A and B are shown apart, each in its own frame.
Chain A
Amino acid sequence: TQLLEQSPQFLSIQEGENLTVYCNSSSVFSSLQWYRQEPGEGPVLLVTVVTGGEVKKLKRLTFQFGDARKDSSLHITAAQPGDTGLYLCAGLRGNTPLVFGKGTRLSVIA
């Protein structure tokens, strides 16, 4: 069983559209991270959310941590081809290892 479920698994949209991807779990996390990974490279950290209900913005990307710290969402406004990649959420519970979801593969078409 997957501890962190990400949806959708694949997403293909036109440039300029908005999108939201989700990361859900039945477990509580002390923090949750979002990474972006491009082909042939390792994941790169985008943001860490720690407090339930927290919202963080990174340019056109908005990240939200659920009130119960079990889920998170990533919203992209006016997507651009440069946003194409694999978006991974990862949860941390205390000092246990990071647990990753399977990722959402985003393709933004010009």
Chain B
Amino acid sequence: GAGVSQTPSNKVTEKGKYVELRCDPISGHTALYWYRQSLGQGPEFLIYFQGTGAADDSGLPNDRFFAVRPEGSVSTLKIQRTERGDSAVYLCASSLSMTSSYNEQFFGPGTRLTVL
């Protein structure tokens, strides 16, 4: 299908390691969002891209988290020096734009990150 895809679907790593999570948005969607969903919680906003630039990164919890979208399509969320508290499902979503009130976002299946 032509939905949002995320890889890997599962990632197990050790405390202190570096991880990269990838998101392929729907073709033509200029807006891309990263969320983190912990057990029993709703998705929590991390960062949003409009094209290549990060329009709002206010949700990134600290400077260990970084995301890029160099060509305005695929995005990578990078986490340095992972901690056990980083364990969660990381969701990516894309939409045509951020400017509409309707702002329909299409979500990928998520990457489940487990930090041992």
Chain A residues proximal to chain B, CB less than 8 Å: 4, 6, 30-31, 40-45, 48, 50, 88, 90, 92, 95-103
Contacts and interface: CB of A to CB of B under 8 A. Distances in A.
B109 A98 contact: no
Interface of B: 4, 33, 35, 40-45, 48, 56, 58-59, 91, 93, 98-99, 101-110
A97 B4 contact: no
Nearest to B40: A102
Nearest to A94: B101
B109 A43 contact: no
B92 to A, nearest CB: 8
Contact of A44 (B43, B48, B99, B107): B107
A31 B33 contact: no
Contact of A43 (B40, B41, B43, B59): B43
Given A40-B109, A41-B110, A43-B91, 5 more contacts: A43-B107, A45-B105, A48-B102, A97-B59, A98-B45
Contacts of B42: 4, 6, 88, 90, 100-103
A92 B105 CA distance: 12
Which 8 pairs, one residue from A and one from B, show the smallest C-beta to C-beta distance?
A42-B107, A100-B42, A97-B45, A31-B101, A100-B43, A102-B42, A88-B42, A43-B107
Contact of A42 (B4, B40, B98): B4
Contacts of A90: 42-43
A31 B43 CA distance: 17
Contact of A30 (B44, B91, B101, B110): B101
Given A101-B42, A102-B40, A50 B102 contact: yes
Nearest to A29: B101
Contacts of A100: 35, 42-44
A97 B41 contact: no
Among the interface residues B91, B101, B110, which one has the most CB atoms of the partner chain A within 10 A? B101
Contacts of A92: 101, 103
A103 B43 CA distance: 9
A29 to B, nearest CB: 10
